[in-house]
Amino acid sequence: MVNKLKHYREQHGFTQEQLATAVGVSRQSIISIEKGQYVPTTLLALKLASALKVTVENIFQLEKMDWK
Amino acid sequence: MQSRLLRRAYKIVGLTLFSLAFLVPIILGLINQEPWEQTAFRRQVANSIMLFGLLLFMLSREKVEDEFVDFCRLRAFRTALIAGVIYFLQDAFGTLGGNLVDSSFGVLIMQIAVYVVMFYVLKAGLFNGK
């Protein structure tokens, strides 16, 4: 899965800490999502998209290998 | 999502109980020089307090409780459970003569230790857990 969280966060001028506070999680959660170590739930994905004023599909995109 | 966990202060209580139960029998043993048989009951009490302390530690809240912490907790529980079964099987059938596990304390303390280490490794992002 392609994950553009870091790109949109930086575009918005958010630090990891600020984004974490905005969506109510720890900074470590944001780090793990950005590294691709953790895939967030739909609820958190929607919160992230809302905080960054983009759609969930902008941040997370499926790849061909995800269908296998 | 609200997890039913103990307050964060119980982490310190748990660690204190564990440390005391671990150290006091060693110190008393050194001072009194008693044979193992005479201290067996005391050792059993200390082991129980150690387990209880670690249980408090693992069931208390983290600074920030979110879905990632829940994810780490579940992964750590799974790893600890598998490690416990492997340890039991290895101990029961691994040695010559089929020596059955006589200490549930050994299995439990190992499982909790694996849980605690795995939880903090996952939480720190040192291992992706896949």
Domain match, B69 and B130 both: yes
Q: Say what the pTM is.
A: 0.81
Q: Name every residue whose Cβ is closer than 8 Å to that of residue B116 and which is 6 or more positions away in sequence.
A: B54, B57, B58, B76
Domain match, B23 and B51 both: yes
Domain match, B3 and B42 both: yes
Q: End of a domain among B45, B61, B77? A: B61
The reported pLDDT for the residue numbered B56 is 94
Domain match, B75 and B110 both: yes
Average pLDDT, chain A: 94
The reported pLDDT for the residue numbered B27 is 81
Domain match, B41 and B1 both: yes
Question: Could you tell me what percent of chain A has a pLDDT over 70?
Answer: 100
Query: Do the beta carbons of residue B25 and residue B34 sit within 8 Å?
Result: no
pLDDT at A43 over 90: yes
Q: How far is B2 from chain A (nearest CA, A)?
A: 13
The reported pLDDT for the residue numbered B44 is 83
Query: Do the beta carbons of residue B10 and residue B57 sit within 8 Å?
Result: yes
Q: Which domain holds residue B97?
A: 64-130
Sequence length of chain A is 68
Domain match, B16 and B45 both: yes
CATH number of A2-67: 1.10.260.40
B62 contacts on A by Cβ (under 8 Å): 26
Low-confidence ranges of chain B (pLDDT < 70): 1-3, 33-39, 94-102, 128-130
- Residue B6's φ and ψ, nearest 5 degrees, are -75, 165
In this complex, how many residue pairs, one in chain A and one in chain B, have their CB atoms less than 8 Å apart?
Answer: 35
Q: What are A58-68's pLDDT values in tens digits?
A: 999 998 888 88
Q: Report the residue of chain B nearest A29, measured CA to CA.
A: B68
Note whether B68 contacts A29, CB cutoff 8 Å: yes
The reported pLDDT for the residue numbered B87 is 85
User: In chain B, how many domains are there?
Assistant: 2
Domain match, B50 and B4 both: yes
The reported pLDDT for the residue numbered B61 is 93
A33 contacts on B by Cβ (under 8 Å): 68
Instruction: Give the three-class secondary structure for A25.
Output: coil
The reported pLDDT for the residue numbered A66 is 87
Domain match, B11 and B29 both: yes
Q: What are B52-75's pLDDT values in tens digits?
A: 999 999 999 999 899 999 999 999
Domain match, B56 and B103 both: no
Question: Could you tell me what percent of chain A has a pLDDT over 90?
Answer: 85
Question: A17-24: long-range contacts at Cβ-Cβ below 8 A with a sequence spacing of 24 or more?
Answer: A19/A48, A19/A51, A19/A52, A22/A51, A23/A47, A23/A48, A23/A51, A24/B66
- Residue A60's φ and ψ, nearest 5 degrees, are -115, 125
Domain match, B47 and B85 both: no
Query: Do the beta carbons of residue A9 and residue A52 sit within 8 Å?
Result: yes
Rounded to two decimals, the ipTM of the complex is 0.85
Domain match, B45 and B76 both: no
pLDDT: which is higher, A30 or B2: A30
The reported pLDDT for the residue numbered B97 is 52
